[in-house]
Chain A
Amino acid sequence: MVKKRINSFWPRVMVFLAVLGPGIIAACANNDAGGISTYSIVGADFGGKMMWILFLVMFSTAVTQEMGVRIGLVTRQGLGGVIREYFGVRWVALVMLTMLITNLGTMTAEFSGLAESFEIFGISKYWVVPLGALVIWLILYKGSFKTTQRVFLLFSFFYLVYIVNGFIIKPDFAAAAKDLVTPTLEWTPHFLITMIALIGTTITPWGQFFIQSYVVDKGLDIKHYPAEKLEVYLGSVFTIVIGFFIILSTAATLHAAGIKITDAKDAALALKPLAGNFAQLLFAFGLFTGSMLGAFILPVATAYATCQAFGWEYGFDTDWKHGKYFYTTILLTIALPALFVLIPGIPLFRVMLLTQSINGILLPIILIFVMKIINNKEIMGNYVNKPLSNIIAWLTVGGLILCTALLVATTFFGMA
């Protein structure tokens, strides 16, 4: 009989992605529309001034993601479920509301990215966004969520082109290295809001839920901890390296030329040293896949987390009657952001940045619960936090709250 051999390219790639751990996957998923636009704006508007924050965020990302993995390995359930079981209905409702707001925001960023990537070719968002929303829903509902997710994760390696680009520019690496360790601040709302966005796009509320569920769904348990820990650290470094080169590229091109990003065409200029006239095409492709990656993951991730926390039935194998909350959540997370993006004349690239700031502002609420769980001996047993992780995580929480307070102060009282 016919012997079916797996010898074509795609199945192999799929298998490869299937064995990738949560750390690398989460790192890839970070390169969504919100991520690339924020990093681009950071470089274009402020040059290398925020590099030091990126450097610090690397440690925060490593620590927070590692905590998510550890809670997943020990409790073997999603973050929403753990919060529900140990803090009750009221607190989990607060956390879920926070997640819902930030996820709707991030979803808005994904649709903005989708619209922008086609805007480069002069195709109107009034075509692209509704069609995109429909395609996403159909693939989620009729197709395979996992396969699609993996395809787009694969594409997210696209952002490696920024590393190549970074070397072609021949930037002053010594200066960039100095930027990494030289704290610089501007007391303006624009600087602060961008800074919060930079943190909020790298350590995201949804990412915290995502990495923990991923660990649980893969059936990993605590004996995989050493390997997963290493992998999470690698993933965090990878995230930051990509961010570093995007900022480096936009700083050396856009910032040097004094160009402010208003749409994807501007952001694409950063890739000109590498791709010349193809820069726009390349950037559009990257932004498109990044947007789609997030747009596929977020609705499902939101619905899973919500349903787990409130005990509603979920999964695409449930029917509409039993899974009404599941399907409603997915539909709303697709429809509301899509409608928002269709508002005539809104500056989509800035919207992307703004949504990531909201992520950053609300992130402490999620992280505080993560901290309470991870330091609870009853839940974590011997796997409670070590002091170093606690210090880094609390500094992250404190830093974000401080930034938000400063942002409010500078905005309303003109502290500058």
Chain B
Amino acid sequence: MFFVSHLLGADIMDSADKTVGKVWDLVCRPNGEKYPPLVAVVYKQGKEMKAFGFGDVENIGKGEISLNTLAGKVAPYGFHAHDVWLARDILDKQIVDLQGTRVVRVNDLRISFIEGEFRILGIDVSTRGLLRRMGLDRYAPFSWFKSTFIDWEKVQVMGKALKLSNLSEELVKLHPADLANIVEDLNPNQSNRLLQALDAKMAAKVFEELEPEAKQQILKSLDSKKLSGIISHIPVDELVDYMKTLTMNDRRKIMSDLSDVKKKTVQEFLQYEDNTAGGLMTTEFVKAKPAITVAEAREHVREVSEGLRSINFIYIVNEKNELLGIVSMRSLIVYPHEQKLRSIMKKIRAHQTVHVDADIAHIAKIMTKYNLHTVAVVDTENKLVGLVTVDDILRHFVPKA
């Protein structure tokens, strides 16, 4: 098993066994392959940093790199912007372990000869790796520790040039809640970089999952363009919860980013107390008139679907916006096209809804009593204003998850 720590500081010998210098760093170029190849060796000659391509390397061993040519004939290597220097950019830095969804520090890098090239196989994050770096791993009791590796594919490097284009596919596939945990574990510079690299929609989902303290940090330091992008993707109720934790000054900063319609809703919401139906509810739901047909309703759902997180029911309201009943997605699929919603809706009585001022215990009671996943919220004039879903209630009782 070869490690970068074996090669840093190693002697470079040419084909006539003459010393060229000592290895300063190794360069790899991530090219989309599973295991990126090493492309160059950096060494210092006096004060000058020089490099040659890996094509000149005959073999590598512990403490030595031998060349297949004479010292004077090595091909100088031209540095490239996408180059990753292993010691400078990866070793000792924090990276994201995508399998364990955690942030770890790189203790060592494992190198192997695959398909005719020396390639990076994985990252050593174990105590054994630490000991190897200190030159202690050969001696008992240190040699009892085992190395553990993370495959290069399952790693996201957090370099300065992190962009959407070089985010690992595995990273983008993570659940927003896991990504949020990672963002919290990274240092603020890195977490900014990561959010910056994600697209606005994903970034918004991650942002929602962050702890309040982390959200504040992000607000303070993320650039305003990205921040307004994120904010435009956050549902009003989540946004309001977040804004309630902010100072007036910070609130104004966010308000100025919102569209006029959204601004008005946000202002309305800000008046509701936390832990009441008004404070917990979402305003994102599908409404329809009782007179429309199943086919029309399906079409309507298709149209609004893009902008909504989830749709479980259609809420049937009259001209005065009073709630009459609900139609489930299941009914919408099961019943024939021409059937009117009025005839298939499940009637909702006043006692199965909650008032905007209802407290969380009352909401939970109603939901438990009538076995509801979502409960409709009405105002003093009995008009439908929003919904509280079961996960909002759960979050209240289990805040740290």
Instruction: State the CA gap A89–B129 with chains docked (Å).
Output: 10
Quick check: is A84 within 8 A (CB to CB) of the other chain?
A: yes
* Contact of B107 with A311 in the complex, beta carbons under 8 Å: yes
Instruction: State the CA gap A96–B221 with chains docked (Å).
Output: 30
Instruction: State the CA gap A322–B185 with chains docked (Å).
Output: 14
Quick check: is B189 within 8 A (CB to CB) of the other chain?
A: yes
Residues of B within 8 A of A313 (CB): 102, 104
Quick check: is B188 within 8 A (CB to CB) of the other chain?
A: yes
Quick check: is B57 within 8 A (CB to CB) of the other chain?
A: no
CB proximity of B181 to chain A, nearest CB, Å: 9
Cβ contacts B102-122/A at 8 Å (1 or 0 each): 101111000000000000000
B220: nearest residue on chain A (CB-CB)? A219
Quick check: is A398 within 8 A (CB to CB) of the other chain?
A: no
* Contact of A81 with B220 in the complex, beta carbons under 8 Å: no
Residues of B within 8 A of A2 (CB): 359
Instruction: State the CA gap A1–B360 with chains docked (Å).
Output: 10
Quick check: is A399 within 8 A (CB to CB) of the other chain?
A: no
Of residues 194 through 230 on chain B, the ones whose CB sits less than 8 Å from some CB of chain A are: 213, 216-217, 220-221
Known: A89-B130, A311-B105, A317-B400. A216 touches B94 (CB 8 A): no
Quick check: is A3 within 8 A (CB to CB) of the other chain?
A: yes
Instruction: State the CA gap A117–B188 with chains docked (Å).
Output: 41
* Contact of B400 with A89 in the complex, beta carbons under 8 Å: no
Instruction: State the CA gap A90–B92 with chains docked (Å).
Output: 11
Residues of A within 8 A of B220 (CB): 219, 221
Quick check: is B394 within 8 A (CB to CB) of the other chain?
A: no
Quick check: is B343 within 8 A (CB to CB) of the other chain?
A: no
Residues of B within 8 A of A216 (CB): 187-188
CB proximity of B216 to chain A, nearest CB, Å: 6
* Contact of A310 with B133 in the complex, beta carbons under 8 Å: no
Quick check: is A88 within 8 A (CB to CB) of the other chain?
A: yes
* Contact of B188 with A81 in the complex, beta carbons under 8 Å: no
* Contact of A89 with B217 in the complex, beta carbons under 8 Å: no
CB proximity of A309 to chain B, nearest CB, Å: 8
Instruction: State the CA gap A388–B189 with chains docked (Å).
Output: 29
Of residues 221 through 259 on chain A, the ones whose CB sits less than 8 Å from some CB of chain B are: 221
* Contact of A81 with B187 in the complex, beta carbons under 8 Å: yes
Quick check: is A93 within 8 A (CB to CB) of the other chain?
A: yes
Instruction: State the CA gap A2–B274 with chains docked (Å).
Output: 10
Quick check: is A85 within 8 A (CB to CB) of the other chain?
A: yes
Quick check: is B140 within 8 A (CB to CB) of the other chain?
A: no
B94: nearest residue on chain A (CB-CB)? A311
Instruction: State the CA gap A89–B124 with chains docked (Å).
Output: 14
Quick check: is B357 within 8 A (CB to CB) of the other chain?
A: yes
Known: A85-B93, A311-B105. A76 touches B188 (CB 8 A): yes
* Contact of A89 with B359 in the complex, beta carbons under 8 Å: no
User: What is the size category of the interface that chain A forms with chain B?
Assistant: 20 to 34
CB proximity of B88 to chain A, nearest CB, Å: 10
How many residues of chain B get a CB closer than 8 Å to chain A's CBs? 29
Residues of B within 8 A of A311 (CB): 94, 104-107, 125
A78: nearest residue on chain B (CB-CB)? B187
A74: nearest residue on chain B (CB-CB)? B189
* Contact of B92 with A85 in the complex, beta carbons under 8 Å: yes
Instruction: State the CA gap A6–B91 with chains docked (Å).
Output: 48
Counting chain A CB atoms within 10 Å of each CB, which of B102, B104, B221, B357 scores highest? B221
Known: A219-B216, A317-B400. A90 touches B187 (CB 8 A): no
Residues of A within 8 A of B130 (CB): 89, 310
Instruction: State the CA gap A311–B126 with chains docked (Å).
Output: 9
B359: nearest residue on chain A (CB-CB)? A1
Instruction: State the CA gap A75–B94 with chains docked (Å).
Output: 13
Residues of A within 8 A of B102 (CB): 313, 322
* Contact of A221 with B125 in the complex, beta carbons under 8 Å: no
CB proximity of A328 to chain B, nearest CB, Å: 12
* Contact of B273 with A1 in the complex, beta carbons under 8 Å: yes
Cβ contacts A293-325/B at 8 Å (1 or 0 each): 000000000000000001101000100001000
Quick check: is A77 within 8 A (CB to CB) of the other chain?
A: yes
Cβ contacts A1-16/B at 8 Å (1 or 0 each): 1111000000000000
B104: nearest residue on chain A (CB-CB)? A311
* Contact of A1 with B187 in the complex, beta carbons under 8 Å: no
CB proximity of A378 to chain B, nearest CB, Å: 10
CB proximity of B77 to chain A, nearest CB, Å: 22
Counting chain A CB atoms within 10 Å of each CB, which of B92, B107, B217, B359 scores highest? B92
Cβ contacts A83-118/B at 8 Å (1 or 0 each): 011001110010000000000000000000000000
A90 CB contact (under 8 Å) in B105, B133, B217, B275 = B133
* Contact of B188 with A89 in the complex, beta carbons under 8 Å: no
* Contact of B188 with A221 in the complex, beta carbons under 8 Å: yes
Instruction: State the CA gap A90–B105 with chains docked (Å).
Output: 15
CB proximity of A120 to chain B, nearest CB, Å: 40
Instruction: State the CA gap A2–B360 with chains docked (Å).
Output: 11
CB proximity of B385 to chain A, nearest CB, Å: 16
Quick check: is B156 within 8 A (CB to CB) of the other chain?
A: no
* Contact of B217 with A219 in the complex, beta carbons under 8 Å: yes
* Contact of B187 with A76 in the complex, beta carbons under 8 Å: yes
A77: nearest residue on chain B (CB-CB)? B187
Quick check: is B398 within 8 A (CB to CB) of the other chain?
A: no
Of residues 231 through 283 on chain B, the ones whose CB sits less than 8 Å from some CB of chain A are: 273-276
CB proximity of B90 to chain A, nearest CB, Å: 11
* Contact of A88 with B92 in the complex, beta carbons under 8 Å: yes
Residues of B within 8 A of A76 (CB): 187-189
CB proximity of B353 to chain A, nearest CB, Å: 16
Residues of A within 8 A of B125 (CB): 311
A84 CB contact (under 8 Å) in B105, B189, B276, B359 = B105
Of residues 13 through 45 on chain A, the ones whose CB sits less than 8 Å from some CB of chain B are: none
Residues of B within 8 A of A85 (CB): 92-93
Instruction: State the CA gap A351–B280 with chains docked (Å).
Output: 56
CB proximity of A219 to chain B, nearest CB, Å: 3
CB proximity of B235 to chain A, nearest CB, Å: 23
Known: A219-B188, A311-B107. A93 touches B92 (CB 8 A): no
* Contact of A88 with B133 in the complex, beta carbons under 8 Å: yes
Quick check: is B134 within 8 A (CB to CB) of the other chain?
A: yes
Instruction: State the CA gap A304–B155 with chains docked (Å).
Output: 24
Residues of A within 8 A of B217 (CB): 219
Instruction: State the CA gap A88–B91 with chains docked (Å).
Output: 8
A–B pairs, 11, beta carbons within 8 Å: A1-B357, A1-B358, A75-B189, A76-B187, A76-B189, A89-B134, A219-B216, A221-B188, A310-B130, A313-B102, A322-B102
Using CB atoms and an 8 Å cutoff, list the residues of chain B in contact with chain A: 91-94, 102, 104-107, 125, 130, 133-134, 187-189, 213, 216-217, 220-221, 273-276, 357-359, 400
Known A4-B273, A90-B134, A221-B188; 13 more pairs at CB < 8 Å: A1-B276, A81-B187, A89-B107, A89-B130, A219-B188, A219-B220, A310-B130, A311-B94, A311-B106, A311-B107, A313-B104, A317-B400, A322-B102
- Enumerate the 3 nearest inter-chain pairs by beta-carbon distance, A residue then B residue, closest first: A311-B105, A219-B217, A89-B133
